Structure 1
Amino acid sequence: MRKLTELEKKNIKLLTKNQVSVTLIEPTKTGLKKSIMDATGSVRSFLKEKSIHDYDLQKQGPNYKVLIPAVIHTGFQTISSKASLYRPLTKNGDPRIWFYSLTKIADPNDIMAITYSDDAFHVFNLTKLNIEELINTSIQNPFQDLIKKINTTENEVAYELLAMLKKIASAGPIRSMVDADTSVGRTLETALGIEINSSKKPDYKGIEIKSFRNSRTNRKNLFAQVPNWKLSKLKSSAEILDTFGYKREEDFRLYCTVSAITRNSQGLNLRIDNDIKQLIENSDKPEVGDFVIWNLDKLHNRLKEKHKETFWVEAESIRINNSEHFQYKLVEHTRKPITSQFDLLINQGIITLDHLIKRNSKGKVVEKGPLFKIKPKGIELLFPPSESYSLI
């Protein structure tokens, strides 16, 4: 898929803010002419996750074609349609999808959004529609009705936690517990009475709490997840360190960010293979090549497990008597990550991976990651809804 325009990104942010889970598809000139589109990995994942359709269980040939009702949104009107999902007898049965009447709203390489509600697909053109205008206009329209129907309300636990955070913030700056990058989170969790532990479960009654200093350039931690060592060429963090590490002071370490859109100084990058549902880390060293693998289903499950509901708490760092203090000021509240967009955001370089591996002077290898992180502007692309609350 091509790089998204600013308008397309803005449209996705508005959809995710309103809890509309979508998958994206880019029809080609040939596809529009022949009324056929590849059901890409992200589309297949979306359909399977929503229990709409599983191509893995579908047999090849026209006798096994599946038709599902669809609504194509043109703005203030709709077109009644159907979606055709099938696997042809030719070309290894590669999954296909088509929406009748799609050519009435789509030009080649437009980005189409697909969602599902009331037993029907809903399709709209992100390249051409003004989503903000359709949602906010005083003129009632089918698209606005769809958004309102999908949208959900806040729950009691969120307001309970918000009240606790406001009480903490009203007491003024809190002295940092430790002198470390992680102190902003540890200090807040202690103030909330949450025990510091290594559990992968959310922090407070199902809500994950992520605290950060208020630098707008800071990427935010999503979760840590080791590769599938059985499928990987390199079988441990120690092997990764030995292959790509460097000497720094008394430690031998590999501290670096890895992205899908460029190679870093160590020659590393990421790529997604949707056909086998894997995230692969690659080296430009010919003798190494692809060296570690993550199963995308595993990453999706970690994201859903960790961030079913999240409070992203922004803090101002203040020096008082030569000690760091935190004034917690703002909360961004997100729910229900859209896992089908996780892959897209990796491909766009918005979600990246950090290696934090070192071997100390005693020869012990310590791994703090690998950490999957997201750029600040990517939050609204991945987590619906995005509501902000002032704490002071």
Structure 2
Amino acid sequence: MLFEPYEDELNYIAKIHKYNSKDYTIIRLTDTMLNKGIIDANVFVRDVLKKYGVFDFSTLNNGEKELIKVQFIGKRASFEAKMSCYKAKTRGDERFWVYGKEFRGQVKSGHLIYITVAPETYKVIIINLSVERIDEIRLSTVFGADKINESLTRLVPGIKQIASQGYHLNFKGAGKIAPKDAGDTLEALLGIKTNNQKSADFEGVIELKSKISKTLDTLFTLRPQFDGTPIADFEPNDRSRVSAFARYYGYESDKHPDMCSLYITIGSEYAPQNNQGFYLEVNENDRTVEIRKIENSGSHKAGYWNFDDLENELHLKHPATLWVKAESRMNGNIGEFKYVEAELTRSPQFMTFISLIKSGEVTYDWRGYTTKDGKYSGKNHGNAWRVKKKQRNKLFGSSEIIDLL
């Protein structure tokens, strides 16, 4: 189950994430949870506890439980308690509960609780997002200094100076403006080398994104896996399977004659966004996101990503992201860019990423072509996960406008 924060709760999460860089999850409490003393340990709760070495539910047998330390942090009450992690005796459902009258006294039905792990003690931290907020001094004491803000003090002055200078020549030189040119030019002006590194562009903590078009925002590139799919049977060499995918499922196009082209956007089953019969499906049991291909009366798995790989890539690429809006014009045969607005986002929420895949607002673009047979030869333009700009702020726990003027 995915829990949608209200606007004031989102603002509180944004404040917390100035200081907490660790993963988190949220749970909306219900009467049933409080009356029975039972909360389902969904995949996101289990992931947070396991990732940071706090507890692994898979080590339990049915009927077994283990107690772990938890710290509740509030404005008027902070205390330590015990959290029971257990599997039900019959079906083995994973569950948890926080013991003690103090916890029950701080939460009510409808409250949204935030669950994360302390930076060094590897103790669970719970914050009630629906009541009085903790001030930033207390948050910095609990989670440490705002490292992203420290990097911003070095990055933003440079971007402001660039913005104040008006239009800048396209770094690549003469020719038609390409979608990536605004970003490449900004990085060149800042003295940042353009490369394909997996970590964030600036000091490893701030990703820079700049564009002029109204296209979707690119999040990251990550190729799918193909074990157990028709592509694995078609192409035994795993390194060639991305090209094989275009050859196996591609179509002929006038733009690339005598080639197999595949230029599609893949969305959810109810918003597939392509005419080739592909859609994305979240398989929570297997902890994967699958590319499904409709065929005859059913569908088959054509590729997939593991949750862990997607989450790692999302957090590695976007600890914080500065989205810089640019305006463009042609000056003779060379393009020029002016940088006019900036927005900082941080702390992407993986459970929201999965939710947006289900709703069709996060999609996967396949962009490339290859030869029809023999040696693979063609071009892959960087298949990427992308999000609609209007939904971007849902994905990130924190968002703020940076004034460039």
Q: Distance between the aligned counterparts of 1:82 and 1:298, measured in 2?
A: 31
Match of 1:274 among 284, 293, 296: 284
Partner of 2:263: 255
5 Å-filtered alignment, 1:157-236, equals 157-176=151-170, 177=172, 178=175, 179-213=177-211, 218-235=215-232, 236=241
Gap runs ≥5 in structure 2: 233-240
Q: Distance between the aligned counterparts of 1:345 and 1:173, measured in 2?
A: 36
Match of 1:369 among 379, 382, 386: 382
Q: Is the 8 A contact 1:261 1:269 kept in 2?
A: yes
Q: Distance between the aligned counterparts of 2:247 and 2:28, measured in 1?
A: 41
Partner of 2:48: 46
Alpha-carbon distance change, 56 to 370 in structure 1, aligned in 2, over 3 angstroms: farther
Tell me by how many angstroms 1:263 deviates: 3.6
Larger mean CA deviation between 346-355 and 380-389 belongs to 380-389
5 Å-filtered alignment, 1:83-162, equals 83-91=83-91, 93-100=92-99, 105-107=107-109, 112-117=113-118, 119-124=123-128, 129=130, 134-135=132-133, 147=139, 149=141, 150=143, 152-154=145-147, 156-162=150-156
Tell me by how many angstroms 1:116 deviates: 4.1
1:182 maps to amino acid: K
Alpha-carbon distance change, 187 to 94 in structure 1, aligned in 2, over 3 angstroms: same
Percent of aligned pairs with the same residue? 26
Q: Is the 8 A contact 2:293 2:301 kept in 1?
A: yes
1:16-39 residue CA offsets vs partner (Å, 9 max, x unmatched):
654555302356665555432321
Q: Distance between the aligned counterparts of 1:346 and 1:15, measured in 2?
A: 26
Q: Distance between the aligned counterparts of 2:202 and 2:217, measured in 1?
A: 19
5 Å-filtered alignment, 1:243-322, equals 244-251=249-256, 252-260=260-268, 262-264=270-272, 265-266=274-275, 267-285=277-295, 286=297, 288-321=299-332
SS of 1:289's equivalent?
Answer: strand
1:69 maps to amino acid: V
Q: Distance between the aligned counterparts of 1:213 and 1:250, measured in 2?
A: 25
SS of 1:358's equivalent?
Answer: strand
Report how many residues are paired: 375
Larger mean CA deviation between 178-187 and 76-85 belongs to 76-85
Q: Is the 8 A contact 2:115 2:125 kept in 1?
A: yes
Partner of 2:238: none
Q: Distance between the aligned counterparts of 2:43 and 2:287, measured in 1?
A: 7
2:344 maps to amino acid: H
Alpha-carbon distance change, 244 to 29 in structure 1, aligned in 2, over 3 angstroms: farther
1:326-383 residue CA offsets vs partner (Å, 9 max, x unmatched):
1112333344544454434434444321111324799834222330112334444444
Q: Distance between the aligned counterparts of 2:304 and 2:89, measured in 1?
A: 31
Q: Is the 8 A contact 2:84 2:98 kept in 1?
A: yes
Tell me by how many angstroms 1:226 deviates: 0.5
2:224 maps to amino acid: P
Q: Is the 8 A contact 2:320 2:345 kept in 1?
A: yes
Gap runs ≥5 in structure 1: 136-141
Q: Distance between the aligned counterparts of 2:248 and 2:108, measured in 1?
A: 48
1:203 maps to amino acid: D
Tell me by how many angstroms 1:306 deviates: 2.2
Q: Is the 8 A contact 1:229 1:293 kept in 2?
A: yes
Q: Is the 8 A contact 1:207 1:311 kept in 2?
A: no
Tell me by how many angstroms 1:97 deviates: 1.7
TM score, norm. by length of structure 1: 0.78
TM score, norm. by length of structure 2: 0.76
Q: Distance between the aligned counterparts of 1:148 and 1:157, measured in 2?
A: 16
SS of 1:284's equivalent?
Answer: strand
Q: Distance between the aligned counterparts of 1:50 and 1:157, measured in 2?
A: 25
Q: Distance between the aligned counterparts of 2:7 and 2:225, measured in 1?
A: 37
Alpha-carbon distance change, 80 to 151 in structure 1, aligned in 2, over 3 angstroms: closer
SS of 1:65's equivalent?
Answer: strand
1:119-159 residue CA offsets vs partner (Å, 9 max, x unmatched):
343143x6xx37xxx44xxxxxx577764544732454432
